[in-house]
């Protein structure tokens, strides 16, 4: 599992804290191995880290596209601020998802698995620019409401603007560790079912271990979580 670390805006402010909570945690019988990958890491090193990971966690945006370097069967967990996701045009919100999951075949054999996580509005860290944006949005809405109140009977009123989502899309966030557990748990169960399916179809134990990281005692796998820029 690889946690993307950004530079500039739209940061996951508690990425180090999340990594510490994740490292060594046991989820569905699987012990997680977690570390951070800095945003300024050389591209070749990033690609190598992505190729070695099972689950990649990132904030909505261009970091999602890094998942194209991942192995078949890996998963992306994309963190989406609710204040942004609830109002953004679909072609904004789903742009990067479409890039990394576009596949003409059946869903059961799609190369990558995608888990969008809506982060609560309270988890967005609203700085001075975000607060000023919300204030401007509120003033625009109030202005339209006043103008509508003055319209002659029968005149079609203007729609009230609802553009607050623009104030959230670039905000930093802090996400509780608990919000990452459901998608991680789901994908780990998927990997377990996949390994069991291979066993039933007669795949060799050695080959299965090489592809899916099953421990020698057959009781689980170790999953790596790192931070990627």
DSSP per-residue string spanning 11-78: -BTTHHHHHHHHTT-EETTEEEEE-EE-TTS-HHHHHHHHHT-SEEEEESSGGGGGGGGSPTT-EEEE
Q: Are residues 141 and 82 in the same domain?
A: no
Q: Give residue-wise pLDDT tens across range 208-219.
A: 333 433 333 334
- Please report which confidence band the pLDDT of residue 110 belongs to, taking 50, 70 and 90 as the band edges: confident
Q: Which of 145, 166, 187 is the last residue of a domain?
A: 166
pLDDT computed for residue 222 by the predictor: 44
pLDDT computed for residue 136 by the predictor: 94
Q: Are residues 17 and 107 in the same domain?
A: yes
Looking at the chain, the whole-number percentage of residues with pLDDT higher than 70 is: 86
Residues of the domain holding 21:
2-125+173-228
- State how many domains the chain has: 2
pLDDT computed for residue 202 by the predictor: 61
- Please report which confidence band the pLDDT of residue 103 belongs to, taking 50, 70 and 90 as the band edges: confident
pLDDT computed for residue 213 by the predictor: 36
Q: Give residue-wise pLDDT tens across range 35-72.
A: 888 888 999 999 999 999 999 999 998 899 999 999 99
Q: Are residues 202 and 213 in the same domain?
A: yes
pLDDT computed for residue 205 by the predictor: 43
CA distance 180 to 15: 12
First to last CA, the chain: 14
pLDDT computed for residue 21 by the predictor: 96
Whether the per-residue pLDDT at 79 is higher than 50: the answer is yes
Q: Are residues 121 and 220 in the same domain?
A: yes
Q: Mean pLDDT throughout 70-94? A: 93
pLDDT computed for residue 203 by the predictor: 52
Q: Are residues 118 and 140 in the same domain?
A: no
Q: Are residues 218 and 196 in the same domain?
A: yes
pLDDT computed for residue 211 by the predictor: 40
Q: Are residues 48 and 146 in the same domain?
A: no
CA distance 192 to 219: 10
Q: Are residues 135 and 193 in the same domain?
A: no
pLDDT computed for residue 17 by the predictor: 97
Q: Mean pLDDT throughout 85-101? A: 90
pLDDT computed for residue 36 by the predictor: 85
Q: Are residues 76 and 148 in the same domain?
A: no
Per-residue b or e along 161-187, where b marks 16 or more CB atoms closer than 10 Å to that residue's CB: eeebbbbbbbbbbbbeeebbeebbeeb
Mean pLDDT of the chain: 85
Higher pLDDT, 202 or 174: 174
Whether the per-residue pLDDT at 9 is higher than 80: the answer is yes
């Amino acid at each position: 599992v690889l946690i993307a670390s950004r530079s500039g805006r739209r940061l996951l402010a508690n990425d180090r804290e999340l990594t510490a909570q994740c490292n060594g945690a046991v989820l569905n019988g699987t012990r997680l191995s977690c570390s951070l990958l800095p945003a300024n890491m050389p591209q070749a090193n990033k690609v190598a880290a992505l190729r070695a990971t099972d689950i990649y966690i990132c904030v909505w945006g261009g970091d999602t596209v890094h998942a194209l370097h991942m192995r078949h069967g890996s998963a992306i967990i994309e963190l989406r601020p609710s204040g942004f996701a609830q109002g953004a045009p679909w072609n904004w919100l789903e742009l990067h998802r479409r890039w990394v999951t576009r596949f003409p075949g059946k869903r059961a054999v799609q190369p990558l698995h995608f888990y969008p996580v809506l982060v609560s509005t309270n988890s967005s860290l609203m700085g001075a620019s975000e607060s000023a944006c919300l204030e401007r949005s509120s003033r625009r809405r109030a202005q339209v409401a006043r103008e509508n109140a003055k319209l002659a009977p029968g005149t079609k009123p203007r729609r009230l603007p609802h553009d607050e989502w623009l104030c959230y899309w670039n905000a930093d966030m802090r996400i509780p560790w608990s919000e990452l557990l459901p998608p991680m748990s789901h994908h780990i169960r998927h990997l377990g079912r996949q390994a069991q399916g291979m066993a039933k179809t007669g795949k060799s134990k050695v080959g299965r271990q090489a592809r899916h990281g099953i421990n020698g005692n057959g009781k689980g796998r170790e999953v790596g979580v790192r931070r990627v820029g």
